[in-house]
Chains A and B, each alone.
Chain A
Amino acid sequence: MTTLTSGGLTSGVSAPPGGLRRFGSARWRKRNLTFDKITFFLVFLVIPVAFYIAFVVSPFVQAAYFSLTDWTGFTPAMNFIGLSNYAKLFSDSTFLQAVGNNILMAIVIPIVTLGLAMFFATRVTVGGSTGGNVKGLRSSSFYRVISFFPYVIPAIVIGLIWSQIYDPNSGLLNGILTRIGLEQFTSFPWLGDVRTARWAVMFVIIWGLVGFYMVLFIAAIKGVPAEVFEAARIDGAGRFRTSVSITIPLIRENVQTAFIYIGILALDAFVYMAALEPGGGPDNTTLVMAQQLFTTAFTKGQFGYACAMGVVLAIITLAYAGLVFAVNRIFGGKSEVGE
C-alpha cells in the first residue's frame, strides 16, 4: 500500500522492495520511522517548508541585512555601512512625507471604512423595524450583494476606473457636478489639486473595501444569538444604542481583526496609487512609502536604501498591529470603533 500511494509523488525517491521492507521494520529511536513515515514527512513538510523559507522567509531576513549596506544590486560590491541608510531616511524629506501620508491613511481609511461597514452590517442584520422579530431591513441581500461586488474587481482596475471618473474633462464626476449647476467644477482636477488629491484617493480605497468588511461583520453579527438583541429591545434600547452597546462589544474580536487587515492595507496602498497617482500626486500629497521603495529599488537601483525603507514599513506595520491590540485591551468590554 505504501508504494502504491506514495509512488506518484515520490518518484524521485527510488527504493527497491527489499530495501523498503528493511526500512519498514527498522525502529529508530522510540518512534516508528518507517519508509512511509519518512517520505511522508519529507514531502509533506520538509520540501514545502524549505521552499517557503527560500522564497518568503529568507528574503525578509536578507532585506534586513541589505538595509545595512550600500548595495546597488548589479555589482557584487556591498559595503557594510551600519545604520547610515536609516540616518539618511530620517533626513529624507520625501520619504518622511510618504510616512506621514501613510499614517494619515492608516487613521482615516480604517475608521471610515469600518464605520460604514458596521453601519451597513447592523442595518441589514438587526436594523429592521423595531416591531415584531429582530430582523434586518427589507432588501438586505440586495444591498449585501451590491456592496460586496468591488471586492472581486482587481484593485488596479478599481484604480483605473476611478482615475477615469475623476478625469477633469471627460470624467463622470465633473460631468455630474456641472450638470447639476456647479460650474466651478468644470475641468476641476480632483487628482491634481493639492486640496483634493489625497481625499479623492482615500475615497476610492474606501469604496473598494466597505463591502468586504460589511460581509465580515454581517457574519459576525449572525453569530450572536437573537435573544441578546430581543433582550436589549425589551430593556428599551433603540437601534443606535443596540449597535453601540450590544453589537460592537459582542463582536470585538472581529472588529480587531478587521482593523489589522485594513490597516496593513492602508499602510501599503501601492496598487491604488499605481493607478491613480503614479507620480506621487500634487506636491507628493499622495506619495506612499511603498511607491518610494519601489522607485528607489527598481528605478534608481539603490537596493540597500530601499531595503531600509522596507524595514521601516514593516516596523510601522507591526507597531500599528500592536496599537490595535493595545487599544482593544485598554477598552476591554467597550468598543474600539466609537469615536
Chain B
Amino acid sequence: MTQISDAVGGVPTAPPGERVPLEPAEASEAPGTAGDKAVTGLSHTILIIWSILVILPMIWVLMSSFKTSSEIFASPFALPQRWSFDNYVNAWTDAGIGSFFFNSVIVVFGALILTMLFGSMSAYVLARFSFPGSRALYYLMLAGLTFPIFLAIVPLFFVLRGVGLLNTLPGLILTYAAFAFPFTVFFLYAFFRSLSKSIAEAAAVDGAGEWRTFFQIMLPMAKPGLATVAILNFVGLWNQFLLPIALNTNPDNYVLTQAMASFASQAGYSVDFGALFAAVVITVVPVLIIYLIFQRQLQGSVSAGTNK
C-alpha cells in the first residue's frame, strides 16, 4: 500500500528506509576504471539513441503540420515556406476534429464517472462483506479482465441494438463503463481490503448506516487509490478504438480515435496530408501537456496498477 499512496502523492519512489539515490546523483561520479566508463558511455549512447527515436517523429510531425501537401511531397526535411495555421483550421473545422474531440470528452468522462462510482461501490462491498457467491463474482470479474474484447464484440453489437443504444453516445458510455468495471473493481478491491476494518466497525457503532459509512468515511480514505485507477481508466478509455468503430458507426457521433482513422483513410484520396498532421498534433498536444504536468503521478499509477 505504501506503493500506491507514494505513487499518487507524487513521490513514486523509495519506501522509507530505502537508500538507493534514484535521481541522477549530484554526487560526483567516482572516477572508476576505463572499462567501467565504457559501460556507462555505452548505456548513455543507447538511451540517447532511443530518446531520439521517440522525439524525432514528434518534431517531424509538428513541422509537417505547418506545410502544404505539395511541400510535404517535395521533401521530408524542408521547413515550411510560411508558418500558417491553415492546416489546423482545416483539421479543426472542415475535418470536424473539434466536434469529435468533444464527443470523446463526453464519452470518456461519462464512462469514467459511472465506472468510478459503481466500481468503487462494488469493490467496497466485495472487500468488506463475505456472502454466498462473492467468490463467483470474483471469477466473473477476472473473466472480464482476461478475455479479449474481440470475443464479445459481435454479441455486444446486438445487445446494444436490442436496447436501442447502437450508434449513440449513451450506448458507448455504458459500454466503456462496463468494460472498465472489472479492472476498477479489482484494483479498488485490494485497496479497500487494506483499509482497516475497525474504522468501518467504529462508524457502525457510532450509528452510521452503510451508505453513510461508505460515502463519508471509506470513500475519502480511498482517494489515493481512486486517483490512480481514474488516471489509468482515463488513458485506457481515451485510447479505446475497437468499441467505437464497431458500435458507433454514425459519423456525427465519432470519437476522436475513430475520427482520426477515418480522416486518415480519406486523406489517402483527397491528399490533405498537412491537415492530417495538424490533426495528429491537435490530438497529441493536450495529452502531452497533461502528461508533462502529471507525469510522476501517471507513472506512479502505472506501477501501482500493474505491480499487484
Contacts and interface: CB of A to CB of B under 8 A. Distances in A.
B131 to A, nearest CB: 9
Given A131-B32, A146-B51, A156-B260, A56 B209 contact: no
B22 A169 contact: no
Nearest to B283: A157
A175 B75 contact: yes
B121 A43 contact: yes
Contacts of B12: 219
Interface in A136-176: 136-157, 160-165, 169-172, 174-175
A137 B22 CA distance: 9
B164 interface: no
B235 A151 contact: yes
B8 interface: no
A271 B242 contact: yes
Interface stretch (A88-96, A185-193, A254-262, A325-333): A254-262
B256 interface: yes
Given A156-B257, A222-B18, A170 B72 contact: yes
Q: How large is the interface on A (under 10, 10 to 19, 20 to 34, 35 or more residues)?
A: 35 or more
B118 to A, nearest CB: 4
Interface stretch (B36-44, B86-94, B193-201, B220-228): B36-44
B29 A48 contact: no
Nearest to B184: A48
A156 to B, nearest CB: 5
A231 interface: no
B174 interface: yes
A99 to B, nearest CB: 14
Given A151-B235, A254-B307, A261-B306, A132 B27 contact: yes
B212 A1 contact: yes
B155 to A, nearest CB: 4
Contact of A141 (B24, B283, B304): B24
Interface stretch (A60-68, A105-113, A194-202): A60-68
A54 interface: yes
B303 A164 contact: no
B140 A274 contact: no
B61 interface: yes
14 contacts: A1-B208, A2-B211, A9-B211, A44-B121, A51-B174, A51-B181, A57-B140, A131-B30, A143-B50, A154-B241, A155-B241, A156-B258, A165-B60, A321-B146
Interface of B: 3, 7, 12-15, 18-25, 27, 29-32, 36-37, 39-40, 43-44, 46-47, 50-51, 53-58, 60-61, 64, 72-73, 75-77, 118-119, 121-122, 124-126, 137, 140-141, 143-144, 146-148, 150-159, 174-175, 177-179, 181-182, 207-212, 214-216, 235, 238-239, 241-242, 245-246, 256-258, 260-261, 264-265, 273, 276-277, 280, 283-284, 287-288, 290-292, 295, 298-300, 302-304, 306-308
